[in-house]
Amino acid sequence: MHALVVDDSRAMRRIVAGILTTLHFDPVEADNGVTALAELDRLTAADDLPALACIDWNMPVMDGLELISAIRADRRWRDITLMMVTTESEHGQIVRALAAGAHEYLIKPFTADAMADKLRYLGLVPAEVGA
Amino acid sequence: MPDPRTPAGAAPARAVAMTPADALWLRDLVRRRSAIVLDESKQYLLDTRLAPLVRSGGYDSVGELVAKARGGDRHVVGLIVDAMTTNETSWFRDTGPFEALRTVVLPALVRERAAERRVRIWSAACSSGQEAYSIAMICTEVLPPGWSVEIVGTDLSPAMVERASQGRFSQLEVNRGLPAQHLVRWFTRDGSHWQVSPQLKAMTRFREGNLAVPFTDLGRFDVVMLRNVLIYFDGDTKTDILRRTRGVTRPDGFLFLGAAETALGMDVGWYREQAASTSLLRPEGAAPLGPVRTRPGAVTGATGATARTSTTATTATRPSPARATAPAPTTSFVPRSRPAPLSLGGR
């Protein structure tokens, strides 16, 4: 099961991808919203869409909020679960992300357990894995 | 893989080691203060629970921390007892019991308590209160208007009771298992922390309580959550706790234990019953739940697959949150399935 990891920090992409790998995802990476959309197009053409996208908010070129809106606007990608993974922790920002179409919101810094909790709640990780 | 409890990007815990004599002294201390038995198989608990104290106190090792406690530093002793007896906790920890509470137990009580319109729930070993507040959130969704609910959280540790009463949680704590929609609905940001809403606070109260001694002034409960705490006690104490818990549970009430806990042979006076995907204990003599009645839109299935099916109606409106007309999604907790994005329309 693919998971798209979108973050402009290579170190953070590696951390998120590492956690997702232990939860039996096969991560693919992108460093901003535009490259993420290109990656989604590529995966769509290969009929190999990710089940999950973990998306940072603050990125150059196209930020995470714009990316979420763009994914939500495209019917081909309606089954992808979107989780914002960001240092943005204001109440209003979380509401904005959820309103734009994010299904979950994980605030940095986070632990591997916290990410597993969210994915378990979203039904993407079985209850017993990583518990 | 680093320690999953170390925040990504944070400095790792310093390596800690303790001597067998330290471990023996610690186990004895905890046993004397709480009746909690940490045999050698629970050595990992000593290590994982004390590592944060070593780090935050600036000690070089757990050995140094223990030496300070053994030297008679009552503050350090108190910190150690707190750390060792604190029930690990997170929001909606294990989805099964909360699903059962929401879809089976509370609906049954709505039928059975129609005359009183009052429900009392005990969160035993409540730690910093996440379980109690999670229950409160579910009660607001399931109980009809005009019902009153009292959720009593008890914990051995005065520090934990104080924390739970404040209802103030760190960023790391709200990241653990609390769905984002619940976070924005029930909490306000307060500096680096999140404050639980007055509505949830009004439904809960917290007090000190030691499970190993007779329960006093607790009253009787419709539901008791005694999860992931019996493992700390020896067999006789477990039997005694379950017997005394029976005494504070109403004859048709419900008792939840932890998912991995069995009380086989110790659960005198109780029988086991299945509710959603979870099994729980009922007082002997209580009428069985029988087949679960299905409400439209309710999640009653025991499997994730059923939960997903039941949310189809909601997810059908998902692609365009702007035109989502379903009732505010923040009111529905649907474990192990993807919630619809938040709709701000009409709010």
Burial (CB count within 10 angstroms: exposed 0-12, middle 13-18, buried 19+), residue B55: middle
pLDDT given for residue B236 in this prediction:
87
Q: Is residue B293 predicted with pLDDT exceeding 80?
A: no
Least confident of A90-94, B86-90, B113-117, B140-144: B86-90
Between β-strands B148-155 and B187-190, what pairing exists: parallel, antiparallel or unpaired? unpaired
Residue numbers of A between 37 and 66 with CB closer than 8 Å to B: none
Question: What residues in A contact B174, CB-CB < 8 Å?
Answer: 107
Residue A126: partners with Cβ closer than 8 Å, 6 or more residues away: A120, B304
Q: Nearest-CA neighbor of B287 among B108, B133, B153, B87?
A: B108
Q: Assess whether pLDDT exceeds 50 at residue B307.
A: no
At residue B162, φ and ψ (nearest 5 deg) are -65, -45
Question: Quick check: B276 and B307 in contact, CB under 8 A?
Answer: no
pLDDT over 90 at A131, yes or no: no
Contact between B338 and A99 using a beta-carbon 8 Å cutoff: no
pLDDT at B91: 80
Contacts of A18 in chain B (CB under 8 A): 1
Q: What is the pTM of this model?
A: 0.74
**Average per-residue pLDDT for chain B:** 78
- Which is higher by pLDDT, B76 or A38? A38
Nearest to B179 by CA among B10, B11, B335: B335
Q: Please, which pLDDT band fits residue A68 given cuts at 50, 70 and 90?
A: very high
Which of B172, B179, B308 lies closest to A111 in CB terms? B172
- Of B100, B184, B193, nearest in space to B138 by CA: B100
Angstrom distance (rounded) from CA B150 to CA B136: 9
What residues contact B99, with CB distance under 8 A and at least 6 apart?
Answer: B276, B277, B278, B299, B307, B335, B336
Chosen for mutation from B89, B194, B338, B344 (greatest number of chain A CBs closer than 10 Å) is: B338
Q: What is the pLDDT of residues B92-101, one digit of tens each?
A: 877 889 999 9
Q: What is d(CA B340, CA B337) in angstroms, rounded to the nearest whole number? A: 9
Task: Report whether pLDDT(B90) > 80.
Answer: no
Comparing B20 with B259, the larger pLDDT belongs to B20
- With CA atoms as reference, the chain B residue closest to A76 would be B319
- d(CA B295, nearest CA chain A) in Å: 22
| DSSP structural state of residue B14 | P
CA dihedral A30, A31, A33, A35 (to 10 degrees): -60
Left (φ > 0), alpha (ψ -120 to 50) or beta: where does B87 sit? beta
- Looking at every residue in chain A, the average pLDDT score rounds to 93
ipTM: 0.85
Contacts of B2 in chain A (CB under 8 A): 112
Average pLDDT over residues A8-24: 95
CA distance A56 to chain B (A): 14
Tell me which of B131-135, B257-261, B342-346 is least confident: B342-346
Å from B85 to nearest chain A CA? 21
Does pLDDT of B134 surpass 90? yes
Option in A75, A78, A107 nearest B175 (CB): A107
Whether residue B320 and residue A72 make contact (CB cut-off 8 A), yes or no, is: yes
Contact map slice: B 312-341 vs A, CB within 8 A: 318-321, 335-339, 341
The pLDDT, as a whole number, for residue B135 is 97
